[in-house]
Each structure stands twice: as structure tokens, then as C-alpha cells.
Amino acid sequence: MLFNSLVFVVFFLVVYALYRGASHRAQGPLLLLASYAFYGWWDWRFLSLIALSTAVDFGVGLALDDRSRRHRKLWLMLSVGVNLGILATFKYLGFFLTEVNQLLALTGYDGAYRVIELVLPVGLSFYTFQSMGYSIDVYRGRIRACRDPVAFATFVAFFPQLVAGPIERSDRLIPQLREPRTVTKGHMAEGSHLLLWGYYKKLYVADNLGVIVATVFDAPAPPGGFAVLIAAYAFTWQIYCDFSGYSDIARGLAKWLGIDLVVNFRLPFFAASPAEVWRRWHISLSQWLRDYLYIPLGGNRKGELRTQLNLLTTMVLGGLWHGANWTFVAWGAYHGGGLALQRALPRLRIPRWLAVVLTFHFTVLGFLIFRAHDLGQVVTLVGTFLADPLPRAADREAVTQLATLLAVVGVIEWVQHRRGDDLDLLMKLPRPVQAVLYAFFLSCILVLGATYGQQFIYFQF
Amino acid sequence: MASSSSTSSSESRGLRALGLGPLAGVLVGTFGLLEAGVTLAYDAPSPMVDKATGYAATADGSTRDVLVVGTCLAEQIIDPAQLGRQLGTDVVVHDLSTPAGSVLLWTLALKNHVPDDADVALVLLPYGESDLRTRMNPWESQVMDLAGWADLPLLSELSCEDAGCNSELLLRKASRAFRYRGYLANWFWHALGTKSLSRVAGQDSLTQARAGGRQLEPGTATAGLGWQSGQPSAAPGGDEIRFDDLQVLLDLAQERDWPLLFTDLPMRPEQRDAYWLQQRAQAREATAEFVHGGGGVHRSMAEVPGLERDHFTDEVHVSMEGGRLITTQLARLARQVLSDADGGE
């Protein structure tokens, strides 16, 4: 069930009506039921994976809560093993076997492994990380185990953020799920704003940008160097508006239910360094990777060389988290390299605006790698741009379309940044101005938005 | 409590977000204005609707009508005036062929726009190689313009595999602004001097790329709208002919007692290899068998007397002389069916 489908609208309205009419005791099971119905809409069989992950981490959490218990590490390994095992089986097994087969073929060995084609369950990477993070937190003693199975199961499967995050921390979400909630007009007004803004970014900006992107990335050969540049800009904004749009919708829906989810994006294209990008982009994942991977690897506590290696390892694995493809590994390595270089090089004394422009282009090149079908295409696209970077008459259309699609979102984000990265800016405008802006967003969504629910890009991760 | 803290925090953050009432007003007002604007000022291009309503306005049972239904190919090749002359003075030929037609569109046009008191002597369906395979989204504006509310269950049954499709159908039937949004978007982009940014429904190309050809999440297959039902038959080009829509048309003709004559339009010879020709013949046979089983008549026009390679301007389109020869052959076949029908009576 896609957020941008009419089915979801009906689903949410029904769930919401029941939710508002239910007592707090009944709201918990209702949210869980709704979350499972939401997920089972794709394929009910995959509910078994969520149930498995939930059951294991709930049990492990209880076992780890007793700090005097022996073999606590083994219990933690059980959680990590099951979650990563599910992830490895459904997400990476086919990729791994294909690569092994290619290696074997190179050696002349023809007894290749049979590649099992498994359907990738939607949202798998998100909920396994969220569930596993809980067990690690209990193991570390950061939180006590949750003894309410309904609240815990809802924490793993909470439908607004189940399939593409934000990846929530147990100490933030579980208490909200357990405590009584009162949905106020403030919640609903904020939630409505987030929903409109999110749908505008997804349906009008991102889905339309996808068409410009496809003309280059899905073409047999790039039409020209400048077209590659435009497509790379377009994809950078497409994936941002798609994913941040999803996150805003998720936060808006949760607000309507009286629950606050974390902010996942904070104007990432105004970052002035690679490190700042990751403090602004997919914040819940970068913090997860920092807390559960980078710091356990030693973080920056074991010398400069080890720090660099830790950064690189974390980012490569972060890249691989996105999917089983060498382009993701390369994208992770590219960002890891960028972070390592930033640490190694002396701080440049350049104006912030120039640093922002340079960092933005660093990000754009990264997303070119991310979007390419394979590494060969990356070489082709970059080569085409370097060989023939000047605009042609035929590029005028794409430039006009790009400028039209980004004009409003670009200006709004620029003003937000100028006002101290104020993400609430629109809600602080005079109400008549808000009304005009919302009418504009709605018109764009209704008339120019993509039809019939385009998949959110991050659903596949 | 999370909620109260959030509310107070929104106050402390100086927010004055538009309340639900005003927001609902903005929503209703925006949609209402769009709907009114489209209804009053926008005349969507819909050639099939124009032709069908044009016929409905004149058909009163005073003439015996032969209806020609097809795509742009039939429209270009068949000359209704010549056909009328060759069929004789007791019938009047009406050309309802339009570009971008499909079996579904023809069916809806005939079902909803041929008056009950019209005297339909014959419905002629000269089809090109891919015409019977052309599938339209059930919510295309032309389909929605031709379909009544009562047709929605049928459209859903024929073409919808998920609730999203059904809800899209309902919305497009209910709202003209929503129905014509594709046209409005085209108008917007053209006004800016660019191509339209329309895209087909279905899986994002990035999704396909990432999958490396594998199917990803359930429900995101590239087929998207799913035409998988009915009895398929192999067809040239590797596609399959689906007979679901055709079955509805055949049922309609039986119910209304209209003789149907399907003819496959000729193609330029020696353009394809033997395998393709064999596939085409098989597809033609399967179609003919299905049409006959449903009470219609199928006659092949793969060979038309006098029609030569030079008459073709491309693989399927013909010169005026070619059109004349094909129309003559079609008239010959139609006369047989008319005569059989008259004899039957």
C-alpha cells in the first residue's frame, strides 16, 4: 500500500476513525493490527518475517534485561544473527551467488551455484535495523526491555514508518506507544502541513523529475554531457524530494496519531562539508550507523588511520545497506573516502557559500554513482560529461523543466536555511499566506502530480 | 504525554499552522475551482466520443446502418463513401473509426451510443496487426467519457487487479478535473515550451535497475496494471492477444442482435521472416476461432485481389488506390455477411 495511493487514503481514514473512537487500551492493538494489514497488503506471507524479527528481539530483550544473566553476548548474537540472516537471505544471497558464479567462471569452473531468485520484502532493511537496534540498546543497558508485547510489536511494525523509516530508536518510540495519547488540534494541523508538503515533494517534484532522469540514465547512450549534468542534478533532487517527502508524510501521519517521529532530513543541500551532509541527510540511518557500527568499530578513539578505516567501513556497509549492487558499494566508498579526506586535509578557508556549492556537487556526483545501472555506466556518463560539457539547444527543455519543478521547493528551502534551518518556517507564515501556498501545492499535486502511485525509491531498500 | 508536550512545543515554537477547518476549506476550494474551471472551460479532445455521439444524434431506425469500427488504420484505409456505394443503397455506412482506438473503446461506444431503436445491419471491424492487442488504461479520459457509472464494474473486472486501479476509476469518473489532468499537465508544459512530463504507471525505472531484472516487492511488477486474464494466444512480436475485451464485444453484439464482421487488414508482404508470418497466421486463426465461437464472423484479408507491394506506403498504410482495393474486398465480404443475415431472418 503506497502512501500516494487512494487505497491508502481510505485505509488511513478508516483506521483513524477507529483510532480516535478507541480507548487507549484498544488503540495499541488497533495500531498493531493496522500496521500488519498495511504490510500484509503487499503480501501477507512476509508478515512472518516481521513476526519472526519481533518475537526474537522481544525475547532477547527480556533475556538481556537481566544484567546478571550469563551468556548475554550470545543472546545479542541471536538477535543480530536472525536480523542480519533475514537481511542476507532476502537481500544479498542472489547478488552474492551471482558474483561467486562470475568469479568461478573466470577460473574456468563451470559448476556454478544455482542462484535463488527471492522477492525482496519491502522495508526489510528498515525494520530489521530498528528491531536489532533495540536489542543492542538493552544489551548496553541504555534502556530497559519492553515487557508489553503489543507495544513492542507496534514499535517494529508501526505503519507510518515501517517501509522506509525514519529508523526510530526504541527509547523514543516505545514510550510514545505505551503512554496514553491525546491527539490535539496542534497535532493535526502540524500533521496536515507535513502531509501536504510531503505529497507536494513526492508527487509533483520527485515523480516529474524522474522523467528527466530516465531520459539519460535509462537511455542506451547519454544524449550529451550537459544532459548528464542536468540528469544528475535532477536525480539528486528527485531522491531527496522522494525520500524526504516520504519521511514528511510518515511524520504527518504519526502526528495525526499523536506520535512524534524523528526529523530525517535537515536541508541537506546546504551542507558545507561531506560530514555535514550526513548530519542532514537520512539522519536516522547515519545516526544508527554511527551508534551501532562506527563507534563499536572504535570510532575515532584508536588513532587517525583506524578512524579513517572505520569511516570507510561504515560508509561502505551503509552503501551496501541500500541494496545488493556494486554501485551502492561504490557510493558508500565514495562518501567514506570523502569523509576520510575531509579529516585528513587541512580545513580550507573558503566562504561558506562556496563550500556549500562544492559539497552539493560532491553529493551530485555521488548520486550519479547511486543511480547508475552499473559502474560501467558511471564511467560512460562521467566520460560523456568531461568530453562534451557544453549545453546544446536540445538541453533547453530539460533545464526549463528542472527549473520549473525546483523553483518553489528550492526557494522555500533556501529561506528556511537563511532562517537558521527553520523547518517549521511555513507554519510560521501568516495564515492567509499559508492558505495560498497550500492551494498552490494542492493544484500542483492534482494537475501536475504523477498519476497512479509511483513507487517511493526507498521502498526497495 | 507525548501529545500535550508536542502541542505546547508547537506553541512555544511560535507555530500558527493553518487549522483543520481552514485547511479543509483550502482543499475543497482548490478542488472546486479546478473542477469548475475544467467543466466550464475545457473541451477535452475525444474523437471517439465525438463520432459516437454524432452517430447517436442521427440514428433513429429510419436507415439500415453499417458501422465501421477500428483504429486510425481503418480510418485511413477504408473509404466509407465507396463502401456505401458498393454495399448498395439500402444501407448507410457510418465510420466510427478513430486513432488510438481499442476493443474496449469500441465496445463502450457501441454499448452506450448506439440507440436502442437504431437499425444496425452490420458492425465491421477491420483491424490491424496490433489493434486487438492494444490495451488502454481503463481510466483513460476517452474510456471514462464513453463509460457510464454502470460500466465501472465491467471496467474493473476487465482491467483492474488492485484497489488502486478501482479507486482511480471512481475518481476519474466522478471528477472531470481529475480525468483530464493529463491534458492539463500537457497544456502546462507546452505553454512553457517543453515536452510533457507524462509517464506511464508502473514500476519506477530505478526500481528495475536496482533489481537487476529481478522482481522486487510484491505488487510492483512492471506489468503494473495487469492484463493477465482470459484466454491468451500467441501473437507476432511476442505479445499475447487477450480476448477478455473481445468477449464483451461479442456478448454485446449477440444481446443487441448485431452481426459482427472482423477482418484483418493486409500488411506489406516480405517484410517479415517466416517465423513471424507463421506466428501471425496462428494469431489470426486463434482470433477467428474465438470470434466464431462468440457468434461473430471472421474473414481474412491477408490476400486482397490486385493489392501489390507498391500500394503500401509503409508496412501497414496504403495509397488511395490500395485503400480502394481493400475497401472493395471489404465490401465483398460484408455483402456476404449481410446476405447471410438477411437469409437468416
Q: Is the pLDDT of residue A144 over 80?
A: yes
What's the pTM? 0.83
Residue B20 placed within a domain: no
pLDDT on residue B19 = 84
The span from the CA of B121 to the CA of A349, in Å, is 87
Residue with cell 556518463: A381
B195 touches chain A (CB under 8 A): yes
The beta strand positions in A36-105, using DSSP E, are none
3-class secondary structure, B64: strand
A209: number of Cβ within 10 Å: 26
The span from the CA of A45 to the CA of A52, in Å, is 12
SS3 assignment for B245-257: HHHHHHHHHHHHC
Q: What are phi and psi of B254, to 5 degrees?
A: -65, -40
Q: Which residues pair with B125 in a beta bridge?
A: B262
Instruction: For residue B23, count CB atoms less than 10 angstroms from its CB and return exposed for 0-12, middle for 13-18, buried for 19 or more.
Output: buried
Q: What are phi and psi of B256, to 5 degrees?
A: -90, 0
CB contact under 8 A, A446 and B181: yes
| ipTM higher than threshold 0.95 | no
B194 touches chain A (CB under 8 A): yes
The span from the CA of B222 to the CA of A129, in Å, is 29
Q: Which of B168, B205, B218 sits opposite A452 (nearest CB)?
A: B168
3-class secondary structure, B123: strand
Residue B22 placed within a domain: no
Q: What are phi and psi of A109, to 5 degrees?
A: -85, 125
pLDDT on residue B202 = 36
Nearest-by-CA chain A residue for B140: A451
Q: Which residues of B touch A46 (CB under 8 A)?
A: 218
User: Residues of A with catalytic annotation?
Assistant: 322
3-class secondary structure, B284: helix
Question: Is the pLDDT higher at B272 or at A402?
Answer: A402
CB contact under 8 A, B17 and A6: no
Q: Specify the DSSP class assigned to residue B103.
A: H
The residue segments making up the domain with residue B58 are: 47-135+227-344
B14 touches chain A (CB under 8 A): yes
CB neighbours of A120 closer than 8 A, spacing ≥ 6?
A90, A91, A460, B211, B214, B216, B217
| CATH number for the domain harbouring residue B319 | 3.40.50.1110
The span from the CA of B49 to the CA of B57, in Å, is 12
pLDDT on residue B9 = 59
> Best mutation site among A194, A256, A451, A456 for testing chain B: the one with the most B CBs within 10 Å?
A451
CB contact under 8 A, B23 and A189: yes
The span from the CA of B260 to the CA of B278, in Å, is 26
CB contact under 8 A, B3 and A438: no
> Best mutation site among B139, B178, B190, B206 for testing chain A: the one with the most A CBs within 10 Å?
B206
CB neighbours of B209 closer than 8 A, spacing ≥ 6?
A217, A218, A371, A373
Q: Which residues of A touch B218 (CB under 8 A)?
A: 42-43, 46, 119, 122
Residue with cell 454495399: B87
Residue B96 placed within a domain: yes
> Best mutation site among B15, B42, B139, B225 for testing chain A: the one with the most A CBs within 10 Å?
B15
Distance of CA A231 to the CA centre of its chain: 21
Task: Read off the C-alpha cell for A158.
Answer: 508501526
Residue B119 placed within a domain: yes
Instruction: State which amino acid sits at residue B247.
Output: Q
Residue B179 placed within a domain: no
Residue B239 placed within a domain: yes
Region A240-254: what's the mean pLDDT? 95
In angstroms, the separation between the Cα of residue A296 and the nearest Cα of chain B is: 30
Residue B69 placed within a domain: yes
Number of structural domains found in chain B: 1
Instruction: For residue B314, count CB atoms less than 10 angstroms from its CB and return exposed for 0-12, middle for 13-18, buried for 19 or more.
Output: exposed
In angstroms, the separation between the Cα of residue A455 and the nearest Cα of chain B is: 6
CB contact under 8 A, B185 and A442: no
User: What pLDDT tens digit does each residue of chain B (345 aa) get?
Assistant: 333 344 445 666 677 888 888 999 999 999 999 999 999 988 877 888 888 888 988 888 888 899 999 988 898 899 999 999 998 878 899 999 988 788 888 999 999 999 988 899 999 999 987 788 777 777 788 889 999 999 999 888 888 877 778 888 888 899 999 889 888 888 899 999 988 886 543 334 434 333 333 333 332 222 222 222 233 444 444 455 568 888 999 999 999 999 999 999 888 876 667 787 788 788 888 889 999 999 999 998 888 888 888 888 888 888 999 999 999 999 999 998 888 877 654
The span from the CA of A190 to the CA of B18, in Å, is 8
The span from the CA of B34 to the CA of B12, in Å, is 37
CB contact under 8 A, A189 and B3: no
pLDDT on residue B12 = 62
Nearest-by-CA chain A residue for B171: A6
- Over the Cα atoms of chain B, what is R_g? 25
In angstroms, the separation between the Cα of residue A142 and the nearest Cα of chain B is: 20
CB contact under 8 A, A446 and B220: no
B328: number of Cβ within 10 Å: 17
Which contacts (CB < 8 Å, 24+ apart) does range B153-157 have?
Answer: B154/B248, B155/B104
Instruction: For residue A102, count CB atoms less than 10 angstroms from its CB and return exposed for 0-12, middle for 13-18, buried for 19 or more.
Output: exposed
pLDDT on residue B203 = 37
B163 touches chain A (CB under 8 A): yes
Q: Which residues of B touch A2 (CB under 8 A)?
A: 164
Cα–Cα distances in Å, from A138 out to A54, A56, A60, A75? 15, 13, 9, 11
pLDDT on residue B45 = 75
Task: Read off the C-alpha cell for A410.
Answer: 528550492
Q: Is the preceding omega at residue A166 within 30 degrees of 0, hence cis?
A: yes
In angstroms, the separation between the Cα of residue B152 and the nearest Cα of chain A is: 17
CB contact under 8 A, A121 and B217: yes
In angstroms, the separation between the Cα of residue B65 and the nearest Cα of chain A is: 40
Cα–Cα distances in Å, from B186 out to A201, B181, B183, B197? 20, 8, 5, 8
CB neighbours of A177 closer than 8 A, spacing ≥ 6?
A28, A31, A151, A154, A155, A158, A259
In angstroms, the separation between the Cα of residue B36 and the nearest Cα of chain A is: 13
Instruction: State which amino acid sits at residue B212.
Output: G
CA-CA-CA-CA dihedral for B6, B8, B13, B16, to nearest 10: 100
B12 touches chain A (CB under 8 A): no
CB contact under 8 A, B220 and A455: yes
Contact B58, B115 (CB under 8 A): no
B264 touches chain A (CB under 8 A): no
Residue B150 placed within a domain: no
Q: Which residues of B touch A183 (CB under 8 A)?
A: 3
Q: Which of A190, A452, A454 sits opposite B204 (nearest CB)?
A: A454
Residue with cell 508470418: B277
pLDDT on residue B10 = 60
Cα–Cα distances in Å, from B230 out to A40, B83, B242, B292? 27, 34, 6, 16
Q: Which residues of B touch A424 (CB under 8 A)?
A: 13-15
Task: Say if strands B233-234 and B240-241 run parallel, antiparallel, or are unpaired.
Answer: antiparallel
Task: Read off the C-alpha cell for A281.
Answer: 541527510
Contact A164, A458 (CB under 8 A): yes
Q: Which residues of B touch A189 (CB under 8 A)?
A: 10, 15, 17-20, 23
Question: Band of the pLDDT at A293, cuts 50, 70, 90?
Answer: very high
